[in-house]
Amino acid sequence: MAEHAKFRYRSLDEVKEDISKLGVIIPISQDLEILKKTISMGDKIIPNSLGIHPMEGCDGTVEGKPDELTYRRYERFARGGAGLLWFEATAVVEEGRANPRQIYICPENKEDFKKLLDQALAAAREDFGHDYRPYTVVQLTHSGRYSRPTGKPAPIIATRNPYLGRDIPEDYPLITDQELERLEDKFVEAAVLAKEVGFDAVDIKACHGYLNSELLSAFTREGKYGGSFENRTRFLLNIVDKIKDGIGEGLDIAVRMNAYDAVPYPYGWGVDKDDFLKPDLTEPIKLVNILYDKGVRLVNISTGNPYYNPHVGRPYDLGYYIPPEHPLEGTARMLDIIRQIQQSCPDMVIMATGFSWLREFAPFIAAGGIQEGWFTIAGFGRQAFAYPDFAKDIITKGAMDSRKSCIACSKCSEIMRDRGKAGCVIKDAKIYAPIYIEGRKGKPEINRNRVAYHV
C-alpha cells in the first residue's frame, strides 16, 4: 500500500497518472452520455443512472417525524436531478434508533412521511416536468450495537465482537432468537407503512455494523441466527420473504449490504479467514444471488464500518486518523468488489459507492464503470450533502463544478459523532457551520496525524 495523500488533482490526466503509478485498476470514460441511461425496475423507471445514497441527517423530531431540515434536504436532493433517491436510515422500533433525532416510521408518523415524500416528488416535477419521477427507496433499520434512542448508549448486540465492542461488558446480554423473530415482523409492519406512504421500495439495511449487518458476521453466535451461512443470513432473508408474502405486488425490496467488513475473522463478513485485509466475496456473492432468486432487483454495495474503519468505505482527506493507503487504492478496492458482485449477478441492479473523494472527476469513473459493466448505478453520499445538484450538472452541463464539490473533510461525520444535525459544514456553512462549532465545544481536539487502520 502507498502512503495516504490528499486530493491535489487539476486534471483527469493527473488522476490517470496516479492510477498508473499505484498499479490499480479504475474504469474511466469521458463519454458521460451513459449516465443519462434509464433503468427499468419492473413497471417503474429510474430516469438516469445516478443516485443518492441514504444520508442520515439526525434532524427529525424526538417523536421520529421529519423536521424542517429533513424536508429541506430531500427537496434539495429531488431538485438535484439524481434518478434514484435513497431515503435515509429509518428506525422500525423506538429502541433501535441510533439517536434521539433519527426518523422512525410508525403509524403515528405515517402522514409525516407521506408529506416528506410528496414534497420531494413535487419539487422534482417542478424542476424537471410533470411526468418526471425519481425512483424512491426508504432504508429500514435497527441500529443494533449503535442504538442510542435517548442519546445515551443502549446497545442491542447479536454477537460479542472484541473489535467493535470495546466498551461493552463481556457479560452483556445478546438479543435472543425470539426477539429477533419478533423484530422480523416489525420490519414487515414498517414496509407496509412505506407502501402506504408511496415509496417505490424498502431497503432492508444490512451494512456498517448495524444489527442486520452484524448478524451476517455472527460466526460465533449460537442458535438459529448464528454460525452457518444459512443461519447468519436467516434474519435478512426471513424479512424479505415475509414482506413478499405479506405485501405482494406494489413494493420493491432493496438491500444496502456490506460486502466486506475489513474486520478480522470470525468477527467480519466478506473477509479472508487468514488475512482480513483481503476480501473474500464467496458469501456476499452467494447472498446477492439468493436475493435475486427471491425477487430482489436492487442492491447497494458498501464496505467497512464508519465507527471503526471509515476509510474502507469512504476515502477521505481528513478524518480521525491517517489511513495506511492512498485513497485511490481504497477506491479501486471498493469498485473491484462491486464489479465482482455485479458480474456474478448481471441482471441485478447494483448501485456503487466510493465516488465522493474524486470530486469533479467522479463522473468519468462513474461512466467508465457503467460502460464496462462494473455496476448499474453510480451512487453519491457525502457529495450530495455538499452539492445536491451534482446530477443535474453532470446531465445538463456534462461536468461537475469543482467549487461546489465535497472536499472529504469528514466534518459531516463529526457532527453526527457530536450528536448534532448532519450536513456539509463547508458548502452549506450558513446552516451547518454553527452546528459543527457548537458540537465541538468542550471536546478534545481530534488527533488527525495518527497513522492507523481504524479509529
8 Å CB contact between 262 and 271: yes
8 Å CB contact between 219 and 226: yes
Q: Is the pLDDT of residue 447 over 90?
A: no
Q: Does residue 7 fall inside a structural domain?
A: no
Q: Does residue 389 fall inside a structural domain?
A: yes
Domain extent at residue 20: 12-440
Model pLDDT for residues 304-363, shown as the tens digit of each residue: 999 999 999 999 999 999 999 999 999 999 999 999 999 999 999 999 999 999 999 999
Model pLDDT for residues 90-130, shown as the tens digit of each residue: 999 999 999 999 999 999 999 999 999 999 999 999 999 99
Q: Does residue 417 fall inside a structural domain?
A: yes
Q: Does residue 454 fall inside a structural domain?
A: no
Q: Is the pLDDT of residue 248 over 90?
A: no
8 Å CB contact between 257 and 206: yes
Residue 163 sits in a domain whose CATH number is 3.20.20.70
Q: Does residue 446 fall inside a structural domain?
A: no
Q: Does residue 368 fall inside a structural domain?
A: yes
Mean pLDDT, the chain, integer: 98
For residue 213, the tally of other CB atoms under 10 A from its CB is 24
Consecutive H or E run containing 340: helix 327-344
* pLDDT computed for residue 306 by the predictor: 97
Q: Is the pLDDT of residue 136 over 90?
A: yes
Q: How many domains would you assign to the chain?
A: 1
8 Å CB contact between 422 and 411: no
Q: Does residue 3 fall inside a structural domain?
A: no
Find all residues with CB under 8 Å of 68, minimum gap 6, and list them: 59
Quote the distance between the C-alpha of residue 332 and its chain's center.
18
**Long-range Cβ contact pairs of 303-306 (< 8 A, separation 24 or more):** 303/258, 303/259, 303/260, 303/261, 303/262, 303/270, 303/333, 303/334, 303/337, 303/353, 304/208, 304/258, 304/260, 304/261, 304/262, 305/164, 305/208, 305/209, 305/261, 305/262, 305/263, 306/208, 306/413
| Separation CA 193–CA 184 (nearest Å) | 15
8 Å CB contact between 408 and 317: yes
| Amino acid at position 92, single letter | V
Over residues 124-140, the mean pLDDT reads 99
The grid coordinates of residue 341 equal 458482485
The number of CA neighbours under 13 Å toward the Cβ of 254 is 28
Over residues 250-264, the mean pLDDT reads 99
Kindly indicate the confidence band of residue 166, based on its pLDDT and cuts at 50, 70 and 90.
confident
Q: Does residue 68 fall inside a structural domain?
A: yes
Bridge partners for 338 per DSSP: none
Find all residues with CB under 8 Å of 19, minimum gap 6, and list them: 25, 26, 28, 328, 332
Model pLDDT for residues 6-18, shown as the tens digit of each residue: 999 999 999 999 9
Beta strand 135-141 with 84-91 is: parallel
SS3 427: coil
Nearest to 214 by CA among 244, 180, 246, 182: 180
* pLDDT computed for residue 139 by the predictor: 99
